[in-house]
Amino acid sequence: MSVQTEAGRGELAARDSNGAPVLEAEDVSVRYGGVMAVTHVSLQAYRAETLGLIGPNGAGKSSLLGALGGQLKVSGGSIRLHGRDVTRSPSYARARGGITRTFQTTSEFEAMTVFENLMVSARGAKGASLGHTVLAWRSNKAEEAAARAHAWEILDRFEMADTASAYGRELSGGQRRLVEIMRCLMRRPDVLLLDEPMVGVAPHLVARLVADLRRIADDGIALVIVEHALEVVRELCDRVVVMAQGRVIAGGTYDEVVRDEEVRRAYIG
């Protein structure tokens, strides 16, 4: 894939606003050796929409997310981002095209402050280490200043400015989640993929994180969220896709899918 320029992305994003999906999977399959984890799945994600992906353990939800983000190779089907085929594009190229996903918590995350975590995730930051980023910015002070301003804007927006100089290891589960999400937002994504974002979040903070995710979608980002907590899905997701054994078994609003017979058999019981 040719790497899209900033201007190119702007135009494409504007085109998406007339109702075309930002991200589209068509007939996607993923296999691990002999195991078919995802079988002929099609779905679409739209701007300003929250799409929930639910289903029993082993249904293939994380594998599908990996296929969308480019971390996993598909064994069949195609993926389009802003209408362009990215099926063979590596994850970093898709990230430049606007897809991002929450990172696995790393040792670096723990050993950096919240502010540093955001700065290394800025668009244009080279590599994931602080040293690399600082080196890259020595030659581009304007870019660094813009990234700093953007980091503060995001911290203020999520009421996390107080934690800017706290280390990753000092944060609560909910704060870590928020930092992961804020790191993604530093890249100004069009699509945000979240795999079980509520895991490790204290129950009294779940509603807040739901509201934060809603606001992110309202800003025009397409959210794709794998989530087991059905009350979160009900609150947050405009549309829900249900998977079981690698396949999509239902799709629609939350109320529609929970009434579906097959969904009740396979998942809700």
Ligand X SMILES: Nc1ncnc2c1ncn2[C@@H]1O[C@H](COP(=O)(O)OP(=O)(O)OP(=O)(O)O)[C@@H](O)[C@H]1O
Q: Does 61 bind ligand X (CB under 6 A)?
A: yes
Closest CA to 44 of 238, 258, 264: 238
Query: Considering only residues 12, 22, 28, 37, which one is a binding residue for ligand X as defined by CB under 6 A?
Result: 37
Give the count of residues interacting with Mg ion (CB under 5 A). Answer: 1
Q: Does 175 bind Mg ion (CB under 5 A)?
A: no
Query: Considering only residues 5, 15, 32, 149, which one is a binding residue for ligand X as defined by CB under 6 A?
Result: 32
Of 32 and 92, which CB lies nearer to ligand X in the complex structure? 32
Task: Output the 3-class SS for the chain.
Answer: CCCCCHHHHHHHHHHHCCCCCCEEEEEEEEEECCEEEEEEEEEEECCCCEEEEECCCCCCHHHHHHHHHCCCCCCEEEEEECCEECCCCCHHHHHHCCEEECCCCCHHHHHCEHHHHHHHCCCCCCCCCHHHHHHHHHCCHHHHHHHHHHHHHHHHHCCCHHHCCCEHHHCCHHHHHHHHHHHHHCCCCCEEEEECCCCCCCHHHHHHHHHHHHHHHHCCCEEEEECCCHHHHHHHCCEEEEEECCEEEEEECHHHHHHCHHHHHHHHC
Please report how close the Cβ of residue 38 comes to Mg ion at its closest, in angstroms.
Answer: 12
67 binds, among Mg ion, ligand X, none (CB under 5 to 8 A by kind): none
39 binds, among ligand X, Mg ion, none (CB under 5 to 8 A by kind): none
Of 60 and 70, which CB lies nearer to Mg ion in the complex structure? 60
Q: Are strands 191-195 and 222-226 parallel, antiparallel or unpaired?
A: parallel
Please report how close the Cβ of residue 262 comes to ligand X at its closest, in angstroms.
Answer: 16
Q: Does 233 bind ligand X (CB under 6 A)?
A: no
Query: Considering only residues 39, 50, 62, 89, which one is a binding residue for Mg ion as defined by CB under 5 A?
Result: 62
Please report how close the Cβ of residue 243 comes to Mg ion at its closest, in angstroms.
Answer: 10
Q: What is the CA radius of gyration of the chain?
A: 18
58 binds, among Mg ion, ligand X, none (CB under 5 to 8 A by kind): ligand X
Q: Does 59 bind ligand X (CB under 6 A)?
A: yes
> Which residue's beta carbon is nearest to the bound Mg ion?
62
Q: Does 57 bind ligand X (CB under 6 A)?
A: yes
Per the DSSP assignment, residues forming a β-bridge with 195 are: 226
**Token digits of residue 77:** 């089907």
Query: Considering only residues 44, 50, 63, 102, which one is a binding residue for ligand X as defined by CB under 6 A?
Result: 63
Segment interacting with Mg ion, rule: CB under 5 A, options 30-38, 62-70, 144-152, 261-269 = 62-70
Please report how close the Cβ of residue 37 comes to ligand X at its closest, in angstroms.
Answer: 3
**Interacting residues toward ligand X by CB under 6 A:** 32, 35, 37, 55, 57-63
**Interacting residues toward Mg ion by CB under 5 A:** 62
